Structure 1
Amino acid sequence: MALLRDVGITLGRWTGRPVARVDEDAGDPDVPRVRAAAEAADWATVRDVLDARPESEDRTGLLWAVGDVAGVERWIADVMAAEPDAPLPRLVAAIRHISWGWEARTGARAKDVSREQFQTFHERLATAETWLYEVAEREPGWTSPWYGLQITGRGLQVGPEIARRRFEATVRRDPHHLGAHQQQLQQVCEKWSGSHEEMHAFARASAFGAPGGTLLGQLVAVAHLEHWLALDSGPDARYISRPEVIASLGEAADHSIRHPDCVRGRGWLQVQNTFAMAFALAGDVASARECFRATEGRVTEFPWYYLDGSDPAKAYKEYRSYAGR
C-alpha cells in the first residue's frame, strides 16, 4: 500500500503555469531523509527522524515513507531483537508489513487476486496486528498503532463493529486525525461494508463536528466522489452536478480550506486537490479554479488516480485546463 505522494512543479515554458511532475517527498524535507536512511538500513537516523515528530498524524507520513521501502522487513527484525522492549522498532516493522502485505495482494480486483496472494496478504497483516497491539499496550497514548489497526482491519475484514472501535481509539488520542477519518470513511462506503447514506452521514458529522479550519471538510468531498464512482456513466455526471451536491461541497470548503483558521499542515495539499477535482466534476468552475490556484501545480496521487490510475498528473492538468487555470 503506497504512501499517497505529492507531485512537484516546474514553470511551464509556454503557458507560465506550473507543470506537474512526480515528486515523492510530499513537501516534507524529512521524507527523503528518512527514506534514504531506511534504504541504507540506518536505524539510528530513522529513529532520530521519527522521534523528532509528535506521535500523531504529523508522524504518520514519515512512518509510511519507511514502510514503503523494500527490505526494511529484513533489517528491522535485527533491531527488534537487539531492542526487545522498544516500541518504535515494532511500530516500524508493523507498518512495513502492512505495506508489504498490500504489495503481495496488489491493487487488482479481488477476483483477479490468487489464493496464494491473499494468503500472503493476510499473513503479513496478521503479523502487523500482533506488533501493533504490543506497541499500543506499551505506549497507550500513541495514535499510530491504532491508525495502523484501522488499515489492517479493513484488509482482514474484521467487520464494522471492530473497525469502529479502532477508529474511536485513534481519535480519542488525536480527535482531528485526518488519516483515521479517511480510513473510517472507506469502511462505511458501500463498496466495503456500509452504504451511501452512512458514508455521507459520517462525512458531515465529522466535518462539521470539528472546529472551523480543520481539514476534515475533505470527507464531504470524498464522500461525493465515492458516490459518483459507484454510479454508471450518465447517472454519475447527473449526481455530481446536482445543485445540492454543489452546495454541500461549498459548505464543506467554507468550513475547512476557505476558513480563516485553516492552516497549511500535513494533508492540506491533498485536501485542496480533492476539492479541486470534486468542484471540477460538479461544474463549479470558479471554485475549482480557486483550488487549482492554491495547489500551485502540486498534484497528489489521491484523488486523481480515480480518473487516471497510470498518470494522475495528466488528469489534474486536463481538469485544470477545463477550470481555466
Structure 2
Amino acid sequence: MRLFGRFSRSAPRTDPDYWDPDLARLRAAAGGRDWSAMRERLSAVPEGQERTWLLAHAAKTAGIEEWIPAVIAAEPDSALALLVSGARRVSWAWEARTRARATNVSREQFQTFHERLRVAEEQLYEVAEREPDWVAPWYFLQMSGRGLEVGQDISRLRFEAAVKRCPEHLGAHQQQLQQVCAKWSGSHEEMHAFARTSMLNASQGSALGELVAIAHLEQWGELEPGEDAKYIRRADVVAELHEAADRSIRHPTHGRPRGWLNTYNSFAMAFSLAGEKKAAAELFNAIDGRVTEFPWQYINGADPVKPFRTWRDAVGG
C-alpha cells in the first residue's frame, strides 16, 4: 500500500525558512534587528526541541552578532538574549570554517573559527547556569565542542546533559552521531551502534529512526565510487533502512513534527541510493519538491536541488 498517495511532480526548490511560517517570522525579526519581536516569538515556543530547531535555523541569519551585544547590555538578566548570541556565534564560527576538510581550511580560518567558538562557549555555559532546565544551551555546546575538539568524553557529557532534559531530542542525537562518526575521530562501528541503540530505545514513531539512515549515508559518503553503491545496496543495509522507516516515519504515531522535511529527505536519499524505488518514490511524493540542504549536500553541496531532481526522476519513472 502506498503510504503517501500519488507521486508528485512539483518543481524542486529549497527554502531558507523550511516552509515553516514561525521560522519565517523569526528570521524576519532577526534580519530586521527587531529583538522585541524575536523575543516574543521564541518565548511563545515551549523550551525544548521545537525552540532549539527554530533558533538553530534563525541563528544562521547574518548580522545578529552585530546588534545582539547591545541587547545583552540593555537586558543583562536575559538568558534568552545570551542564548541567541551563543547560538549565532556557533553558526558564525562554522561559516568561517566552511564545510571543507580540515586539510583545506587555512590557519586564519581556524583562528577565527576557534575565537568565535570560545566566546560562544562562555555565553552558553552562562545560559546553562541561569536556566538549568533548558536543553538549548547543551545542544549548541555539542556543536561548539566538536569544533574545539573537546574530546569524546566531554562531548558525551554534553550530549547526556541535553537528552536528560529532552530524551528524544533529534538534534542532540544528530550532533552526537556526528561526534562518533569516523571523520570526527570515531568509527563506523561506533556510529552505527549509536544510531541503532538510539532508535531502539526511543518510542515507536520517534524521528530518531532517521539516525540509522544518516549513519548509512555517512559511511556511503566515505567510500570510493563503486564501493559506495555496493555498500548501500547490501541486503542488511536495505533491511535496516526499512526497519528504521517502519519505526519512525511509517509508524502511525509519527505525525509530522517540526523539522519533518529533513527526516523525509534523509530517508528519500537513502532509499534512492539503495535502489528501493517504491519506498523512495513515496517519500518524494510526501516531500512535494521541498528540498532540504541536508542530506543532498553529500552529493552536491553547491546545489542540493540537482541531485534531488535526478534521484526523484530516477525512482519516479
Aligned to 1:293: 285
The answer to whether structure 1 residue 49 and structure 2 residue 52 are counterparts is no
* Matched ranges for 1:259-298 at <5 A: 259-298=251-290
Aligned to 1:304: 296
The answer to whether structure 1 residue 211 and structure 2 residue 216 are counterparts is no
- Structure 2 portions without partners, runs of 5+: 1-6
* Matched ranges for 1:228-239 at <5 A: 228-239=220-231
Residue of structure 2 aligned with 1:25, choices 17, 23, 42: 17
Distance 1:228 1:75, change over 3 A: same
Q: Are the equivalent residues in 2 in contact too, given 1:220–1:249 (CA < 8 A)?
A: yes
How far apart are the structure 1 equivalents of 2:125 and 2:200?
A: 31
Distance 1:234 1:65, change over 3 A: closer
**Larger relative contact order (CA 8 Å, sep ≥ 6):** 2
Q: Are the equivalent residues in 2 in contact too, given 1:301–1:312 (CA < 8 A)?
A: yes
Q: Are the equivalent residues in 1 in contact too, given 2:12–2:288 (CA < 8 A)?
A: no
Distance 1:287 1:306, change over 3 A: same
How far apart are the structure 1 equivalents of 2:100 and 2:83?
A: 27
> 1:47 Cα shift?
0.2
How far apart are the structure 1 equivalents of 2:30 and 2:272?
A: 39
The answer to whether structure 1 residue 134 and structure 2 residue 126 are counterparts is yes
Q: TM-score, normalised by structure 1?
A: 0.93
CA distances 1:262-319 after superposition (whole Å, capped 9, x unpaired): 1101121111111111111011111111211121221111111111111111111110
- Structure 1 portions without partners, runs of 5+: 1-14
The secondary structure found in structure 1 opposite 2:11 is strand
How far apart are the structure 1 equivalents of 2:57 and 2:179?
A: 23
How far apart are the structure 2 equivalents of 1:89 and 1:29?
A: 22
Q: Are the equivalent residues in 2 in contact too, given 1:146–1:169 (CA < 8 A)?
A: yes
Aligned to 2:216: 224
Aligned to 1:5: none
The answer to whether structure 1 residue 88 and structure 2 residue 59 are counterparts is no
The answer to whether structure 1 residue 155 and structure 2 residue 147 are counterparts is yes
> 1:83 Cα shift?
1.1
CA distances 1:152-210 after superposition (whole Å, capped 9, x unpaired): 00000000000000000000111111000000000000111211111100000001110
Aligned to 2:244: 252
Percent identical pairs in the alignment equals 59
* Matched ranges for 1:64-213 at <5 A: 64-213=56-205
> 1:16 Cα shift?
7.1
Amino acid at match of 1:251: E
Amino acid at match of 2:305: A
How far apart are the structure 1 equivalents of 2:311 and 2:9?
A: 14
Runs (4+) of structure 1 exceeding 4 A deviation are: none
How far apart are the structure 2 equivalents of 1:300 and 1:65?
A: 12
Aligned to 2:3: none
How far apart are the structure 2 equivalents of 1:163 and 1:232?
A: 30
> 1:22 Cα shift?
2.5
CA distances 1:230-284 after superposition (whole Å, capped 9, x unpaired): 1111111111100111011001100000101111011211111111111110111
CA RMSD of aligned residues (A): 1.3
How far apart are the structure 2 equivalents of 1:67 and 1:16?
A: 32
CA distances 1:212-241 after superposition (whole Å, capped 9, x unpaired): 101000000111111111111111111110
Amino acid at match of 2:267: F
Amino acid at match of 1:120: T
